[in-house]
Amino acid sequence: MTQALRLGIAGLGTVGVGVVKIIRRHADLLQARTGRPIEITAVSARNAKKDRGVNLSDYAWESDPVALAKRDDIDVFVELIGGENGPAKASVEAALASGKDVVTANKALLAIHGQELAEKAEAAGRVIRFEAAVAGGIPVIKSLTEGLAGNEIKRVMGVMNGTCNYILTRMQSQELGYNALFEECAELGYLEADPNLDVGGIDAAHKLALLSSIAFGTKPNFDGIQIEGIQQISLEDIHQADDMGYRIKLLGVAQRSARGLEQRMQPCLVPSTSALGQLEGGTNMVVIEGDSVEQVVLRGPGAGEGPTASAVMGDVCDLARGLQIPTFGRPATSLQDAQAAVTGLPAPYYVRLALFDKPGALAKVAAILGDAGVSIDRMRQYGHSESTAPVLIVTHKTTRATLDIALEGFSNADVVADEPVALRIEEV
């Protein structure tokens, strides 16, 4: 019989347990599809006595994931610990040094240390696979590195954090404010231990850094991503966007132009009739645009035991078949430094202001925009209160850098009562 592929799994949380379940439930199916048995040899987690709802007695136990990574009786180290440093990084490095391939769901680790680890894997003749690190059960990494390998990628964009999409779509459908929905997500367990990783856009930006590297042949550059969360979005913004035929999404976009590589994770307005605009709840969606294929839309569950474990097993099965692909789709030593765009490509912007209700305020706002070089497409006042007058402005195409000059001018003009909200209107 063909020799089994032996796994060591570090991290027995939701995803790790999901991987164990798949291997136990589908052993015959996995062997039929890969041509060899796939077995778990040893596992590691912080608490050996915890009831995880699955039988682990058949596997050797290691309290230290680094010790697990070095075992002679594993071929593939499956890292499901999480975190950009600490035991996750140390154990992955140990696995590569010990001649093991690595499968991981750790987006933060690869977004920050991916280049270094990819070079170590390449030097050792090993590979790192990470389908589960981006968009849960959606095979977006495989699509970029294999299915679309014949394309020059023009743009990658998508909704990559289910918690943010859940909040924004519930604001739309249930007329609930951001704060109420944030508390609801906390009660449902949808938020990371540090909620800012979700609502601040950091989690999704880690994912965008990885997709951008594969798409454009650059070293992962998390620090080069413009990141803005959804905390400032109000029901008023949801209503106004809807009235204009848009939905608000936390949208990640990576595209290269003559200006350089543009990478941003920020709330944007997208047409309500578009695939992204119709995306509901915790679902993820990634849109890939290539010169030959034009546009491909991938939609599916972005998190959870089953979807993420499914992605892990997709990578494991490829290794069982002997498929060897460089970490970011091409040799790590060939990846270029990302030349960040000095300014992003121009787009229309939605701007909401609360003006002090006094003569000349609106004229002063229009003058500040004009002096900055921002042209107004439409502007209207609505819903006066006793002291302020809300104003909605949609600009013609401009860059965010130019708009920021105007926003700074507002703060110095004594006419704007609150912090302005400025959202890009993305062409999708």
The three-state secondary structure class of 57 is coil
The alpha carbon of residue 56 and the mean position of all alpha carbons in its chain are separated, in whole angstroms, by: 32
Encoded tokens for 372: 């900055």
Cα(284)–Cα(251) distance, integer angstroms: 11
In angstroms, the first-to-last Cα distance of the chain is 51
Burial of 246 (0-12, 13-18, 19+ CB in 10 A): buried
- What are the CA-CA distances from residue 25 to residues 12, 78, 139, 218, 308 (Å)? 17, 18, 22, 39, 16
Which residue positions form the known binding site for L-homoserine?
A: 192
Cα(226)–Cα(424) distance, integer angstroms: 13
Cα(291)–Cα(322) distance, integer angstroms: 30
Which residue positions form the known binding site?
A: 107, 192
- Choosing from 70, 100, 120, 207, which is the catalytic residue? 207
Say which DSSP state 218 is in: B
What value does the CA radius of gyration of the chain take, rounded to a whole number of Å?
24
- Amino acid (1-letter code) at residue 199: V
The alpha carbon of residue 63 and the mean position of all alpha carbons in its chain are separated, in whole angstroms, by: 31
**Length in residues, the chain:** 428
Encoded tokens for 399: 């860059």
Encoded tokens for 197: 């990783």
Encoded tokens for 267: 């709330």
List the one residue out of 109, 128, 201 whose CA is nearest residue 160.
201
Which residue positions form the known binding site for NADPH?
A: 107
DSSP bridge partners of 158: 252, 286
Known catalytic residue at 207: yes
Cα(286)–Cα(413) distance, integer angstroms: 41
Q: List, by residue number, the catalytic residues.
A: 207
